[in-house]
Structure 1
């Protein structure tokens, strides 16, 4: 294992942690991503918007004061007819003056409005849902960055192994070339080595290209400048900590969001029911009015430009009596919505619990596979080294050497795959058990 880490560190220094690169830890990547990711910034804006929505509903409890002013030209002034017996005439006819003007203030303030109070509580739930949506998006981003970081580390590990295999085959080619020059090996043996060597070089180039793509994707997810080079820390396979299996967390953002959705549906049902409750408002006005038969009289002194003041306060009581059964059927629909959400909540909870049980099983299996594949890889490397030594001594054939080399490459690939699966399963359990914050050491 020490030899593996030594080879990996030697290789990763020029490839991953070069002088022109900024070597980032997983925690560095997570913090940069959380701060810069554009999608997460949009979630933060939505969260701010929902807070304004709460304030928007709360200010409706404050007095609403409006100023007004109007001017009216009664081109054909209307008349009013009243009983004129007290004046000795059958009817008393009064003609309205042609011009009239009003200016003043109006006040309105709710004293009791249950619909308004429920609207405020709905806005608060929406605000909480916005916060939970942000936290879930943040957690999803952490998982996405971590998976890509792990994939990059595993690819770098694969590159190091391929590089070591190329070095071994180059040594084997040189030995075979010497044997061939001295008539101790056939030309076909030399060709076999060269074919395997070229295949390894192609694998190396493909792995390098894959590594570049993975780093580019990681920079995109973090919203890191694409022109800047980054590197990843090499992984120490002896220090991978296994997650504590504490059971499915009840504080998962998925579960909290579902609970908030149920609460929102219940508040919306209550909002409809509040339509049956009377409401009481305080009203008030303060105004001035003026009337004249000629508009220019307002600009001269005299009784025709006199402004008459009036003011008062009052109460407005609104009592719902009959709405044609509209609210009745809306309430029934809302009750069905609540029942559907509770069923969905139960289904998702069971689904998450199943995911947890499967992840625990996968963790145990992947952990065993990881250890076995690592042992197999190291053993295959030792066998290949022995076979190579025996080939130098002329005891074994080139066919045996190439067969052991193929088995070693296969063991390495299995090890790389088991390593990544083990770390991803460990990551998923960190999420399901509510321990994702442990990635921020």
Structure 2
């Protein structure tokens, strides 16, 4: 039994491990990072919520065109002197009452204020929908920047690790020569210090990788403790356009046609213009059609009945010879009794039917004086149009400035990268020659370390320049409307 239990445990562990390994081996490339960010980033989700709110406002303004229909009902009890709604007379009897009504109203003419409001809400909805695209573009560009930064950190850590291995190997060789008396102790001490510096640089580089990874997780809204292994494409394989084949003027024209912010600003301006026309329409008379149905029921708490009180002699008489025969009339009185609750509803259907009334008419509303609110809305809408026009002017100028700046930065990065490549080639050749001279004892350790440091710095600078150039070109692709390619 114990062996069987052990086998089951081992089998369950083996079955669980493939799933765990599959989860841990999934790597995050740029496409997956961007797609995850577009779904989970808070800024994108907030922009999407705003677009949904604008859609609700648009739907509400459209449905405001159809007639309104409202039902009203009141049920209560009256005490003391009150109005009987079924007879429209005042009475001192306590009673139970009920009033029912159905009202409808529709605007016939309002100087297109309602239609312009709908158009304004429609433009605002389109603007907010375009703002979602802008938020997605912004987060995609930021994710690409941070993704490339992590890749650069990894490349720097790899170069630092290679230098550490070189320093360790050189230290071991020098240590043997020092122990053999071929080199002074100073040479081993200098190399040992270099190994310590390279170890510290490697730890710093590895720490920077984790820090920048956390920043990337925050951008895509991934928990900080979640597993996160990046796919590392060779930087040489990242597609980059030839910067010498494009001009900033061409890129600017593409940007004005592809950037969502330009579309957002134009739609906001159109919405402001329609809002102004709607505000103007509200200062003129409004004609509406209305109709109503209503009925009422009233029941006293007491029941009243007539009772006979005998006959009473009247002044009238009939002569029978000389005798007077007086005329008598019957006398009645009213007796009240308290009704039971069920009796309060007696005659409900008859009263509702008899009191049923209808009405239809045309309403005219003329704004004469309303505290200058209508005029103030017009003035606000007018200045809002000017404000939106200034935003378009400012953002257009800023876009042109950004495009030309990005182009010049990319061009500078291109030339810097080419210069850094030559620097690495020269440093590698110098280091190889220095290593040969050092191996035969023709160069001091400090000179060899200087050459090694120059090579390390040249390689790091080349990586920085290469990734900087790649990112600057990605920014230009972004302005050209090509999206982020990696």
Q: Quick one: which of 261, 283, 286 aligns to 1:279?
A: 286
Match of 2:27 in 1: 23
Match of 1:150 in 2: 148
Consecutive unaligned residues of structure 2, counting only runs of 5 or more, are 1-20, 303-338
- Kindly indicate whether residue 139 of structure 2 is the aligned counterpart of residue 132 of structure 1: no
TM-score by length of 1: 0.83
Match of 1:183 in 2: 181
1:181-205 deviations in whole A, cap 9, x for unaligned?
2322111111111111111111101
Match of 2:78 in 1: 73
* Aligned 8 A contact 1:299 1:305 in 2: no
* Aligned 8 A contact 1:153 1:233 in 2: yes
Match of 2:104 in 1: 107
SS of aligned partner of 1:96: strand
- Alpha carbons of 1:347 and 1:273: their partners in 2 closer, same or farther (altered >3 Å)? same
SS of aligned partner of 1:231: coil
1:27-55 deviations in whole A, cap 9, x for unaligned?
12111221222332333233222212211
Using the alignment, how far apart are the partners of 1:302 and 1:159 within structure 2? 90
Using the alignment, how far apart are the partners of 1:188 and 1:305 within structure 2? 118
* Aligned 8 A contact 1:292 1:305 in 2: no
Using the alignment, how far apart are the partners of 1:329 and 1:299 within structure 2? 54
- Kindly indicate whether residue 77 of structure 2 is the aligned counterpart of residue 96 of structure 1: no
* Aligned 8 A contact 1:43 1:133 in 2: yes
Using the alignment, how far apart are the partners of 1:197 and 1:78 within structure 2? 103
Match of 1:382 in 2: 429
* Aligned 8 A contact 2:416 2:465 in 1: yes
**Shift in Å at residue 279 of structure 1?**
2.1
Instruction: Within 5 Å, give how 1:219-258 maps onto structure 2.
Output: 219-225=217-223, 226-237=225-236, 239-242=238-241, 245=247, 246-248=250-252, 249-250=255-256, 251-258=258-265
Using the alignment, how far apart are the partners of 1:230 and 1:196 within structure 2? 31
Match of 2:314 in 1: none
Using the alignment, how far apart are the partners of 2:474 and 2:437 within structure 1? 44
**Shift in Å at residue 224 of structure 1?**
3.1
- Alpha carbons of 1:78 and 1:407: their partners in 2 closer, same or farther (altered >3 Å)? closer
- Alpha carbons of 1:304 and 1:334: their partners in 2 closer, same or farther (altered >3 Å)? closer
RMSD: 2.9
- Kindly indicate whether residue 77 of structure 2 is the aligned counterpart of residue 63 of structure 1: no
- Alpha carbons of 1:302 and 1:389: their partners in 2 closer, same or farther (altered >3 Å)? closer
Instruction: Within 5 Å, give how 1:262-277 maps onto structure 2.
Output: 262-277=269-284
Using the alignment, how far apart are the partners of 2:23 and 2:48 within structure 1? 36
**Shift in Å at residue 259 of structure 1?**
1.9
Which deviates more, 317-326 or 207-216?
A: 317-326
* Aligned 8 A contact 2:297 2:348 in 1: no
* Aligned 8 A contact 2:251 2:476 in 1: no
Which deviates more, 405-414 or 152-161?
A: 405-414
* Aligned 8 A contact 2:128 2:264 in 1: no
Using the alignment, how far apart are the partners of 2:106 and 2:444 within structure 1? 99
SS of aligned partner of 1:23: coil
User: How many corresponding residue pairs?
Assistant: 409
Instruction: Within 5 Å, give how 1:282-293 maps onto structure 2.
Output: 282-290=289-297
1:75-124 deviations in whole A, cap 9, x for unaligned?
32579xxxxxxxxxxxxxx9535666432311112233333222222221
Match of 1:203 in 2: 201
Instruction: Within 5 Å, give how 1:348-359 maps onto structure 2.
Output: 348-359=395-406
SS of aligned partner of 1:209: helix
**Shift in Å at residue 365 of structure 1?**
0.8
- Alpha carbons of 1:63 and 1:18: their partners in 2 closer, same or farther (altered >3 Å)? closer
* Aligned 8 A contact 1:97 1:293 in 2: no
TM-score by length of 2: 0.76
* Aligned 8 A contact 1:291 1:304 in 2: no
Consecutive unaligned residues of structure 1, counting only runs of 5 or more, are 1-16, 80-93
Match of 1:423 in 2: 470
Match of 1:37 in 2: 41
* Aligned 8 A contact 1:258 1:345 in 2: yes
* Aligned 8 A contact 1:287 1:309 in 2: yes
Match of 1:364 in 2: 411
- Kindly indicate whether residue 384 of structure 2 is the aligned counterpart of residue 337 of structure 1: yes
Using the alignment, how far apart are the partners of 1:106 and 1:50 within structure 2? 29
* Aligned 8 A contact 2:296 2:351 in 1: no
Match of 1:89 in 2: none
* Aligned 8 A contact 2:28 2:229 in 1: yes
Q: Quick one: which of 347, 356, 363 aligns to 2:394?
A: 347
Q: Quick one: which of 386, 390, 402 aligns to 2:449?
A: 402
Which deviates more, 325-334 or 248-257?
A: 325-334
Q: Quick one: which of 247, 252, 260 aligns to 2:267?
A: 260
- Alpha carbons of 1:301 and 1:286: their partners in 2 closer, same or farther (altered >3 Å)? closer
* Aligned 8 A contact 2:417 2:469 in 1: yes
**Shift in Å at residue 292 of structure 1?**
6.2
Match of 1:173 in 2: 171
Using the alignment, how far apart are the partners of 2:372 and 2:347 within structure 1? 60
Match of 2:51 in 1: 47
